[in-house]
A and B are shown apart, each in its own frame.
Chain A
Amino acid sequence: MELMAGLLHGFQVALTPAALMMCVVGVVLGTIIGVMPGLGPSATIAMLLPLTFKLEPTGAMIMLAGIYYGAKYGGSTTSILLNVPGESSSVVTCIDGYQMARKGRAGPALGMAAIASFIAGTFGVVALMLVAPPLARLSLAFSAPEYFALMVLGLAMVVLLAGESLTKALLAMFVGLWIATMGTDLFSATSRFTFDRVELLGGIDFIIVAIGVFAIGEVIGNMEAEKPAEMLPVPKGWRNLMPTWDDMKRCRFAFANGSVVGFLIGILPGAGSTIASFMSYGIEKGFSKHPEEFGHGAIEGVAAPEGANNAETGGALVPLLTLGIPGSGTTAILLAALILWGFKPGPLFIQASPQLFWGLVASMYIGNVLLLILNLPLVAVFAQLLRIPGYMMSSLILGVSIVGVYSVSSSMFHLWLLAAFGLLGYLMRKLDYPSAPLVLGLVLGDSMEKALRQSLMMSQGDISILFRPIPSVLLAFAALLLVVPLFKKFNAVRVQVIDKEA
């Protein structure tokens, strides 16, 4: 009852013309910066923050949150069309999204990204509203050993991301893990693999690697094609641009998977949306009846990660609003914003400021609907991009990538890095090494190393800390993931042998 009263009050706040206006501004801005690679929600919110001092705080919060979840909608656009991840959490979407575009199914891919985002995003808000306080307390049970096991489970998914050869996938992953070690070590303040470059003291931002390996590698690869790349087919008609009913049925599990995995990982202050999208992609492929289609344009490979990174937003707001603990860069800025507006984020926040909490929750329901209405027609517009001839497309990808990287780093050095990773991506493609495991290793490596060292510092070197209940379960899953393909292989060999004998 209290809940209904709260929500009703929230809608009263969120449906006032001023609040509605702020919500529209937020989600439109969010979509735009989501589409643009490089510029992310945290940078945008930080830059807009001073302008919000003059605004009424509830409206301002509704707008900033709109940017936050709106960006997750837009992020998939360039991943699908150009193989350039628009946001860090849309890196995985490149894998199947871009393949779908190459097969002329860019429209359904973009449409599915919007639909999955809507479903999972709304699930995230419902969950935020219903189970925030108890789950927030549960998230505190998660500490370094649990995070370590979670990261190991994530890394074990390399088995699922591998193409033909597991060995090559593992090699790529280890390169990713190596890159993750670069920079100043948090625990000893020593520099690792910085090559005496001041720019490398902070390590290498994984989005640079991802854009280099995926997008630039693709451009170089296309350049050497003997005949000019054919224009990608774009089917005519609204109906052909939308996912079919069959697509929707195929994605049933992906919607649920993305929603739940995204939300749960979002609650953990030490994980984040990139990890959420990788996890749900892995789970999707692991449980799929036709895993061989993944990597070649499986629509579930778009729906699961895009859903997950939207459900993650609802999850990430849980520790922020119920405990005053920011779990990511963007939520840390939202925390700073709340303080600047005179609120006191912390365990008493929801009680003390029901207007803001319920107004925000209600606005997120509205915002998700707005985003769906906004993004579906955009599909038709964006899909036309593929009519651009190949040679111009390559320049477009290059331009978008360079601007994206420069906008984050404002340094020439990082553009050279981008070029180097582009070359690496090209070589990997030539030699048939999958690039997703490299990015996976890079995303998870840093957190995994930190979590392991934190665990051992907590236990003074006693390794048994890694085998308390939650980590044990996660590690068992990881072991299972690694062992199953071996069995399959063994089985296949056995069948062959039996066949020969017979």
Chain B
Amino acid sequence: MKLQATAVRAALGAAILAAASFAHADWAPTKTVDVIVHTGPGGGSDLLARAMVQMIEKEKLAPVRMQVVNKPGGNGAVAAAAIAEKKDDPHTIGLITSVWIAGPLTSSEAKITVHDLKPIAQLMLEPAVFAVRSDSPFKTLKEFIDAAKANPGQLKQSGGSVTSRDNIIRQSLQHATGAKWNFVSFQGGGERLAALLGGHVDIMVIEPQEAGEQVRAGKIRVLAQLTDKRLPGYPDAPTLKEAGFDVHPTPQIRAVVAPPQQPNEASAYWEKLFARLKDTPSWKKYIADNQLEEGYATGPELRKHMAQIEKELREVYTQAGIKVVR
């Protein structure tokens, strides 16, 4: 009897479990899914989102159409608010970048931030390298830093906004070595590169893909990579650590989030979808063509990464005298 009861209970339990896991796997989108991005059409996130939607379609990972929705403005703040407004909608996800973490730190206007949203999955890391013109006297990063130490404030780096990764790594290096050099902000990546090639600045942080062709044409030289391990495209350039600088480059991430109260089964569906996407040939080709770094992580890991990145940014901003508002 007892055995029977146990067997029944076990069977029941298994059935419930199976049903639960079945239900778990069973949620699937039933109508068009919105992918919210923080740039206008043609911005970095927008282009990635459109390419991603295309890959998901090609690899038949979702039963419905997905469409990119642009909510530009406020370094992600407008898009974050738009995602939060969707409350428990299972058919909305958002594509974020590190900018969503950095932006709110310096602008009090952002009432809703990326930390109010539900993390789904981290997709990739965006690596970068330090480059100088090929006729530059600096053959290594150490030579540049030494020169900056000898002539404080004489050398110049072109980069993006003062809160961008370009300036953060400069601040960290300056802090670690005591060297001082200038940082000149430019709005667009093209202008930064033009300033370096034209000889108006001495060094810049540049994306590996963009740098590759300039290196091949003999226009620039890569001194070091802002990564933890060497990129396949740059087997000969040392990482910061290998170059002798014990500085940890704050990673630049791209990741997926969802509205704050999205039901767990829907979020699980999305997490699984991106876990499958990262192993597809289309995704691998995209990463290779654009010289990005694979960096898939689950929702809970993503939450930790975002908190860590925010902590690092906060430290560097405070050191650099950038006003942190929260």
Contacts and interface: CB of A to CB of B under 8 A. Distances in A.
A140 B194 contact: yes
A256 B161 CA distance: 39
Contacts of A460: 153, 182
B70 interface: yes
Interface string A187-217: 1111100101111111000000000000000
A194 B217 contact: no
B287 interface: no
B218 to A, nearest CB: 8
A142 B46 CA distance: 30
Given A143-B195, A270-B191, A410-B71, A201 B107 contact: yes
A50 B73 contact: no
Interface string B10-38: 00000000000000000000000000000
Given A198-B77, A408-B40, A450 B187 contact: yes
A55 interface: no
Given A319-B194, A346-B216, A454-B185, A184 B75 contact: yes
Interface string B177-198: 0000011111111110111011
A184 B106 CA distance: 9
A319 B198 CA distance: 12
B260 interface: no
A50 B200 contact: no
A47 interface: yes
Nearest to B80: A198
A52 to B, nearest CB: 10
A409 interface: yes
A46 B197 CA distance: 28
Most chain B C-beta atoms within 10 Å of own C-beta, residue among A200, A319, A332:
A332
Size category of the A interface is: 35 or more
Interface stretch (A89-97, A230-238, A322-330, A474-482): A322-330
Nearest to A347: B217
Interface stretch (A170-178, A257-265, A335-343, A358-366): A335-343
Contacts of A457: 156, 182-185
Contact of A49 (B47, B72, B182, B189): B47
B209 interface: yes
Interface string B197-222: 11111000000011011101101000
Contact of B107 (A139, A191, A410): A191
B111 interface: yes
A277 B153 CA distance: 39
B188 A332 contact: yes
Contact of A50 (B53, B190, B209, B289): B53
B51 A323 contact: no
Contact of B290 (A139, A319, A339): A339
A190 B106 contact: yes
A196 B111 CA distance: 10
Contacts of B193: 324-325
B213 A346 contact: yes
A325 B194 contact: yes
Nearest to B110: A198
Contacts of A49: 47, 50
A139 B110 contact: no
Most chain A C-beta atoms within 10 Å of own C-beta, residue among B42, B53, B210:
B42
Given A42-B41, A339-B209, A339-B289, A186 B185 contact: yes
B42 A144 contact: no
Contacts of A46: 41-42, 46-47, 50
Contacts of B195: 143-144
A140 B161 CA distance: 21
Contacts of A327: 188, 190
B124 to A, nearest CB: 15
B73 A186 contact: no
Nearest to B53: A50
B42 A332 contact: yes
B46 to A, nearest CB: 6
A269 B200 CA distance: 14
B139 interface: no
A391 interface: no
B323 interface: yes
B49 to A, nearest CB: 10
B247 to A, nearest CB: 22
Given A269-B191, A458-B156, 12 more contacts: A47-B50, A49-B50, A186-B162, A188-B322, A189-B322, A196-B109, A198-B81, A332-B189, A339-B289, A340-B289, A450-B185, A457-B185
Give the 7 A-B CB pairs with smallest separation, nearest first.
Answer: A346-B213, A140-B198, A201-B74, A347-B217, A46-B41, A46-B42, A43-B41
Interface of B: 40-42, 46-47, 50-51, 53-54, 69-75, 77-78, 81, 103, 106-111, 153, 156, 160-163, 182-191, 193-195, 197-201, 209-210, 212-214, 216-217, 219, 289-290, 322-323
Interface of A: 42-47, 49-50, 53, 139-144, 184, 186-191, 194, 196-202, 269-270, 319, 323-327, 329-333, 336, 339-340, 342, 344-349, 408-411, 450, 454, 457-458, 460
21 contacts: A42-B41, A43-B42, A46-B46, A50-B54, A142-B198, A143-B200, A144-B184, A190-B106, A191-B109, A194-B107, A196-B109, A198-B77, A199-B78, A200-B109, A325-B194, A339-B289, A344-B212, A346-B217, A347-B219, A348-B213, A349-B213
